[in-house]
Amino acid sequence: MPRIVLSIDRLVLRGVERVDAAAVAAALQSELHALLASGSSTLATQGSAHALQAGQVRLPHGADAAALGRAVAVRIAGDPPAPAGNEAGAP
């Protein structure tokens, strides 16, 4: 299995409370690990990328910090966004 090294130098989350930062980070890390380990994400199959922008992530009203972390991971991994209204997020 190829080795994947991913470094996130800066993650800007507008509108997220500081108390939620740890939950967002934990969910982001866990979901990225799962997506990249599967080997099917766009990021895992494209080879070297020096920078990327995940774009906007929208969540349904009332979604928690973990849902935000998972949605950001899906966007970073390059997987197709989930349908609007889905907890995983949509562009």
Residue 39, domain member (yes or no): yes
Domain of residue 58 covers 18-77
Residue 41, domain member (yes or no): yes
Please state the pTM of the whole predicted model: 0.71
Residue 57, domain member (yes or no): yes
Residue 67, domain member (yes or no): yes
pLDDT value, residue 59: 87
pLDDT value, residue 47: 62
Residue 83, domain member (yes or no): no
How many domains are contained in the chain? 1
Which residue numbers in the chain have pLDDT < 50?
81-91
Residue 9, domain member (yes or no): no
Residue 63, domain member (yes or no): yes
Percent of residues in the chain assigned helix, strand, coil, to nearest 5: 40, 0, 55
pLDDT value, residue 27: 95
End-to-end CA distance of the chain: 31
Say which DSSP state 50 is in. Answer: S
